Amino acid sequence: MTEAPRLDRQVCFALYSASRAATAVYRPVLEDLGLTYPQYLVMLVLWESEPKGVRELGEELGLDSGTLSPLLKRLESMGFVERRRSGEDERRVAVHLTPAGRSLSSKASGIPRHLADAAGLSAEELEQLRTTLERLTQALHRAH
Amino acid sequence: MTEAPRLDRQVCFALYSASRAATAVYRPVLEDLGLTYPQYLVMLVLWESEPKGVRELGEELGLDSGTLSPLLKRLESMGFVERRRSGEDERRVAVHLTPAGRSLSSKASGIPRHLADAAGLSAEELEQLRTTLERLTQALHRAH
DNA sequence: CAGCGGTAAGTTGTGTGCAATCTAATTGTG
DNA sequence: CACAATTAGATTGCACACAACTTACCGCTG
């Protein structure tokens, strides 16, 4: 009969806590824009390049249509995006930014600084953390 | 008019992705025990020391009663814990393990190894990652 | 001892995540 | 061309997270 692992030794719990803490820091800032954190992620992707199909958004964010469909519907009802059925392939839905959605980009530009300021880590440490996390995520996806 | 930040530069997104990927690796293993990841976290805390009040559980995991109350109700209906109103202080609810809940501990002992194996990082890297994440979480909580 | 402030837990409502299923459209194959 | 397999997206159901609110209870103070 082996021992149960201690909570405070687990990387997984550290990830879970840090992720929720980071989202909590973003929340009040994003509230000013009327966005939740996942909605903000979708907007970030669209600000880089649009229009995008639902599947493409899902691949970049690691989310499926079960999450994205209602999320996009909310973004549309808030007037930040528009969904248009593709003419060539009627299955596809192209997600476009509206002018309101595009102009939100400038208001959002200062947001990542909030995390950096609150993080209590140096720029190098943050950069190294990001790299490690990306390697970890890739490896976990391969294992899954 | 400043630029929108790039998604792939953001530590916050790296955290969010890594955390979900880690949970995804745990999911099939925990499914064998009949637990979700947050339920497993609660069990981990109780395996260390029980009984515990709802508030204490919440402090250790960073969750509030809005999350814990229904989660504990599910753990109770599965027969892993028992909730008893305290006699001295009728506001408090003590969460006890049942024999079934206690015996689950041995089946769960191999679980953290799954993440370590799938992580593709050395033990030292994992240890350093955990330490960095804990520092980050602390700092973010102070900022929030 | 009356009642007021504070605390513990539960409830409600909204928004994810994710598995499973469904519908409609397209593509590949004989 | 018929038609099975595949694909894009939406829907359903369940379990978190979290804010806001409610209820019940405790402890303190006048």
Tens digit of each residue's pLDDT (9 = 90 or more) over B9-49? 699 999 999 999 999 999 999 999 999 999 999 999 999 99
Q: Name the pLDDT band for A2 (thresholds 50, 70, 90).
A: low
pLDDT at residue B76 in the model:
98
pLDDT at residue A80 in the model:
98
Structure tokens at B132: 């960095």
Q: DSSP string spanning B11-38? A: HHHHHHHHHHHHHHHHHHHHHHHT--HH
Q: Among A135, A16, A116, A138, which residue's Cα sits nearest to residue B134?
A: A16
- Whole-angstrom CA distances from A84 to A67, A81, A115, B11 are 19, 10, 34, 32
Cβ within 8 Å, pair B16-A48: no
Half-sphere exposure of A14 (CA within 13 A, CB side): 20
Nucleotide nearest to B37 (CA to C1'): D16
Tens digit of each residue's pLDDT (9 = 90 or more) over B52-100? 999 999 999 999 999 999 999 999 999 999 999 998 999 999 999 999 9
pLDDT at residue A126 in the model:
94
pLDDT at residue A4 in the model:
65
Does B2 score more than 60 pLDDT?
Answer: no
Which of A6, A16, A46, A121 to substitute to test the interface with B, most B CBs within 10 Å? A16
Q: How far is B139 from chain A (nearest CA, A)?
A: 6
The CA dihedral of B107, B108, B111, B113, to the nearest 10 degrees, is -80
Tens digit of each residue's pLDDT (9 = 90 or more) over B101-111? 999 999 999 99
| Pick from A25, A108, A109: CB nearest B144 | A25
Instruction: Give the C-alpha separation, A22 to A115, whole Å.
Output: 7
Q: What angle do CA A43, A46, A49 make, to 5 degrees?
A: 155
Does B4 score more than 70 pLDDT?
Answer: no
Neighbours of B88 (CB within 10 A): 5
Q: In what order do the strands lie in the sheet with A52-53?
A: A52-53, A93-97, A81-85
pLDDT at residue B49 in the model:
95
A32, A26 in Cβ contact below 8 A? no
Instruction: Give the C-alpha separation, A13 to B1, whole Å.
Output: 39
Structure tokens at A20: 């929720």
Instruction: Give the C-alpha separation, B138 to B132, whole Å.
Output: 10
pLDDT at residue A18 in the model:
98
B33, B104 in Cβ contact below 8 A? yes
Does A3 score more than 80 pLDDT?
Answer: no
| Pick from A17, A116, A129: CB nearest B62 | A17
Does A91 score more than 90 pLDDT?
Answer: yes
Instruction: Give the C-alpha separation, B18 to A134, whole Å.
Output: 7
Q: Among A144, A9, A2, A21, which residue's Cα sits nearest to residue B126?
A: A9
Locus of tokens 């892993």: B80
Tens digit of each residue's pLDDT (9 = 90 or more) over A33-79? 999 999 999 999 999 999 999 999 999 999 999 999 999 999 999 99
Locus of tokens 């509230």: A31
pLDDT at residue B103 in the model:
96
pLDDT at residue A51 in the model:
96
Q: Name the pLDDT band for A87 (thresholds 50, 70, 90).
A: confident
Q: Is the peptide bond before B51 cis (omega within 30 degrees of 0)?
A: yes
Q: Residues for chain A: how many in total? A: 144
Which of B6, B7, B8, B12 to substitute to test the interface with A, most A CBs within 10 Å? B12
Instruction: Give the C-alpha separation, A112 to A94, whole Å.
Output: 27
For residue B96, the surrounding DSSP H or E stretch is: strand B93-97
